[in-house]
Chains A and B, each alone.
Chain A
Amino acid sequence: MQGGGSSRRMTERSLRGKAAIAGIGETTYYRHGQSPDAEFKLALQAILAACRDAGIDPREVDGFASYGGDRSDPPRLAAALGIRELRFSNMHWGGGGGGVAAAVANAAAAVHAGMADCVIAFRSLAQGQFARYGRGAQSSAATGDDAFLAPYGLMSPAQRFAMKITRFMSDHAIRHEALRAIAMASYHHAQTNPRAVMRGRPLDEAKYDASRWIIEPFHRLFDCCQENDGAGAVLVVPAERAKDLPHRPVYLLGAAQGADHRTAAPVHNAPDYASAHFKTVARQMWAMAKLGPSEVDVVQAYENFTGGVLLSLVEHGFVDPARANEELVLENLLAPGGRMPMNTSGGNLAECYMHGLEMVNEATRQLRGTACNQVPGPEVVAVLGGPMVTPVSSLVLGTEATL
């Protein structure tokens, strides 16, 4: 009897519909090193923009959640903003954008659990002020895992992931053209997005095919994300609060983070190596959301590298690897009419590499009906966080009709 009661309570432990994104904000997005402002100032600008969008006094914010080792820490933000009471400070482990959805989910968990009422999830990056990602550290001796990698010239994020992609593409006979379609969709959408760094720089097949190799066999220049300066933020509040705020609430339907079995096994020994490591995370996310990939109207899939997007789409059930060559063609990926409109603001490749936070903002805009490449009447949008960068995370957002 007691067991039954406890398992009933277990099934009720969910964030579905409990929290909402009430405000979104971002700075001007810059090419790397081009921001006139310091990283911390960018963070403040994005947070103030999200509060303004939500119609909430920034002093009312009582929590911050971020990821990727963001350098703008909550006590410093709270001091700068004159926040009255800081109740929740949260950093999701892992590099890059693996934690983008987790940061939003952690903010939602905090407001649902009563630990805070008004939490900012954010990312700030000024890569001119700090180090670049695309080059290895310049130290003379490599330690830990790197002792077995760096002496062989394996140092960059692209290199850490490239052999996963080589193996997966080879196993499933997926052609490079499938990755080209992913890159072209992002660049296509960026052309109508005034925020996009790559607006005015369209990409066609010839330009892609002529672009230089970063890594053979599947990483041309346009398969790789940019590095950018800027910041983005969303304001997360309890669902009931969101109803009284200016915008149509965008509800969190499902979210999950983590990794499957031994993804961080040393020196490229993860048992399921040729993976973005979303298999368990996606299952948990869909279960919480009580829906599946066929019910999603728009997808935002984090591009660190286009091969990672392919793996994300497969592991969330959006693409069958046996049909990837047919399904991943440009017309299927475009807003408004494609079968699976994807990265509708330009994504990391062409809007801004804001470690996926720009994708949460775009998902919110799509559900509000205010996106620059608006899909007609979407009710469910999925945001797939940075692939391969465990602990990875994903989320599903929905309109009130989905509750």
Chain B
Amino acid sequence: MSISIHRALPPGLPAPGIEPLTQPYWEGTRAGRLIIQRCRDCHRFQWGPEWICHHCHSFELGWEEVAPKGRIWSWQRPHHPVHPALNGHTPYIIALVELPHADGVRMVGNLLCGATDPVVIGAAVQAVFEPHDDADPPYTLVQWRLAG
């Protein structure tokens, strides 16, 4: 099977370390599902993963699938390569994406569009699951593209 996957950034950047606290999220992304932390007691969503519900102090934190869509809350277009893997591969776009249907939690990802395209705060975006099957262990990043 050879599927050509266009990745947002070149290979060589740090992989996400999969830790016990964050494992359900990464298992979800491998399956193409966006799963984030939700308190079993007060039912608030929170992101990133925390050890406690910062709202009600419950340690009973579950995980729940949310719709893979959001809107751009802020963004940046780095030009200076902060890692050797990025030499010659800038600029690129990092977006801060708000999930209004999940208590407004925010996620960070790359915006999949032309490197010099204009970016508009508030624009609707859709998650794109970007597999890194060749990594050991394999992982899948959540990226974003403009919706519609």
Instruction: Give every chain B residue within 8 A of A262 (Cβ-Cβ).
Output: 54
Q: Does B47 contact A (CB under 8 A)?
A: yes
Given A163-B96, A268-B106, does the pair A147, B78 have CB atoms closer than 8 Å?
no
- Within the complex, the shortest CB–CB distance from B14 to chain A, in Å, comes to 4
Known: A147-B16, A153-B13. Is A214-B78 also a contact (CB below 8 A)? yes
> Is B58 positioned at the interface, with any CB of A under 8 Å from its CB?
no
A116-137 at interface with B (beta carbon < 8 Å): 134-137
Q: Which of A138-181 contact B (CB under 8 A)?
A: 138-156, 158-159, 162-164, 166-167, 170
Cβ of B147 within 8 Å of any chain A Cβ, yes or no, is: no
The reply to whether B16 and A269 contact each other, CB–CB distance below 8 Å, is no
Q: Check B49 for interface membership: any CB of A closer than 8 A.
A: yes
A154 touching B94 in the complex, CB below 8 Å, given contacts A135-B82, A216-B79: yes
Complex interface: chain A residues within 8 A of B82 (CB): 134-136, 153, 155-156, 159
Contact assessment for B19 and A153 in the assembled complex, using a CB-CB cutoff below 8 Å: no
A146-B77 CB under 8 A given contacts A152-B9, A153-B92, A153-B94: no
Residues in B whose Cβ lies below 8 Å from that of A170? 74, 121
CB-defined contacts of B110 to chain A, threshold 8 Å: 152-153
Most buried by B among A152, A154, A214: A152
B141 within 8 A of A: yes
Q: Give the complex CA separation of A351 and B54 in angstroms.
A: 42
Which residues of the partner chain A approach B121 to less than 8 Å between Cβ atoms?
Answer: 166-167, 170
> Which of A134, A143, A150, A273 makes the CB contact (< 8 A) with B80?
A134
Task: Report yes or no: B141 in contact with A151, Cβ–Cβ below 8 A.
Answer: yes
Query: Smallest CB-CB separation from A147: which chain B residue?
Result: B16
Chain B neighbourhood of A246, CB < 8 A: none
Contact A267–B106 (Cβ < 8 Å)? yes
Write out the residue numbers on chain B whose beta carbons fall within 8 Å of the beta carbon of A155.
Answer: 82-83
Instruction: Flag whether A113 is at the interface (Cβ < 8 A).
Output: no
Query: A152 vs B54: C-alpha distance in the bound complex, in angstroms?
Result: 26
A156-B82, A269-B105 given; A166·B13 CB < 8 A = no
A214–B19 touching, CB < 8 Å: no
Which of B14, B76, B79 touches A141 (beta carbons < 8 Å)?
B14
Say yes or no: is B138 at the interface (Cβ < 8 Å to chain A). no
Task: Check B91 for interface membership: any CB of A closer than 8 A.
Answer: yes
Q: Which of B14, B74, B77, B86 contacts A139 (CB 8 A)?
A: B14
Establish whether residues A269 and B8, one from each chain, have CB atoms under 8 Å apart when the complex forms: no
Q: Are B22 and A147 in contact (CB under 8 A)?
A: yes
Q: Is A80 an interface residue (CB 8 A)?
A: no
A213, B132: Cα distance in complex, Å: 30
Would A266 and B108 be within 8 Å (CB), given that A142-B14, A142-B15, A143-B19 are in contact? no
Question: What are the residues of chain A within 8 A of B91 when measuring CB–CB?
Answer: 213, 216
State how many angstroms separate the Cβ of B86 from the closest Cβ of chain A: 6
Task: Judge whether B54 and A143 touch: CB under 8 Å.
Answer: no
Decide: A151 and B79 in contact? CB cutoff 8 A.
Answer: no
Please, which residues of chain B bring their CB within 8 A of the CB of A268? 96, 106, 108
Contact of B16 among A148, A167, A273 (CB under 8 A): A148
Q: Shortest distance in angstroms between A307's beta carbon and chain B's nearest beta carbon? A: 11
What is the CB-to-nearest-CB distance from A240 to chain B, in angstroms, rounded to a whole number? 45
Tell yes or no: B48 within 8 A of A by CB: yes
With a cutoff of 8 Å between Cβ atoms, the chain A residues found around residue B83 in the complex are 135-136, 138, 153, 155
Which B residues lie within 8 Å of A282 (CB)?
none
Asked if B106 and A269 sit within 8 Å, CB to CB, the answer is yes
In the complex, A212 has a CB within 8 A of chain B: yes
Query: In the complex, are the beta carbons of A151 and B78 less than 8 A apart?
Result: no
Q: Quick check: A143 and B108 within 8 Å, CB to CB? A: no
Q: B27 to nearest A CB, angstroms?
A: 14
Does any Cβ of A come within 8 Å of B63's Cβ?
Answer: no
Q: Are A150 and B14 in contact (CB under 8 A)?
A: yes
Q: Is the CB of A267 within 8 A of B79?
A: no
Is B75 in contact with chain A by the CB < 8 A criterion? yes
Nearest-Cβ distance from residue A153 to partner chain B, whole angstroms: 5
Set of chain A residues within 8 Å of B107, measured between Cβ atoms: 148, 267
Q: A153-B86, A154-B94, A167-B121 are in contact. List 9 more A-B contacts (CB 8 A).
A: A135-B83, A143-B19, A151-B16, A154-B108, A159-B76, A159-B82, A163-B74, A163-B76, A273-B73
Instruction: Enumerate 15 A-B pairs (CB-CB under 8 Å) in ascending A order.
Output: A135-B82, A140-B14, A146-B14, A149-B108, A151-B9, A151-B15, A152-B141, A153-B86, A154-B94, A214-B78, A215-B78, A215-B79, A267-B47, A268-B108, A273-B106
